[in-house]
Amino acid sequence: MKKIIFFIVFVFTCIVANAQTQTTIGKFIIVEANINGLDYSEYYRNKKGYIALFVDADKDPCLANVMPMGDSQSYGKIYSLKYQGMEETNTRYETHYYTFNWEYENTYDSKTGICAVELVLIKK
């Protein structure tokens, strides 16, 4: 059986979270994370970080960045979602690219903002 390893690249300053009334679509363990070109992979692994995709009570797609060991999360709606998939070949793994804007709020400092996100899922 193939392992699924999720490579997650974020092009923003803050990262993802949880919501109150929601239907979870997927949960992805963070194994690699880069923020503004800096490697935060070990930090997210140590905090048991994961990304949750969900639909809120208004049926809007949302994203959450949750760090249970850090008691922090960011959450919010997804806008302008674009997808590109690449099939597995002899020279590359199956890869899924998602880009979107994310309007987030942090639970740990109540800051809000909008950022561009690139989420890359690589099936190994």
d(Cα 110, Cα 61) in Å, to the nearest integer? Answer: 21
Confidence check: pLDDT of 9 > 90 = no
pLDDT, tens digit, 9 for 90 and up, residues 98-120:
999 999 999 989 899 999 988 88
d(Cα 114, Cα 116) in Å, to the nearest integer? Answer: 7
pLDDT, tens digit, 9 for 90 and up, residues 53-101:
999 889 999 999 999 988 889 999 999 999 999 998 989 899 999 999 9
d(Cα 18, Cα 15) in Å, to the nearest integer? Answer: 11
pLDDT at 82: 95
Indicate the domain borders of the chain: 4-123
Rounded to two decimals, the pTM is 0.69
Helix (H) or strand (E) holding 46: helix 41-46
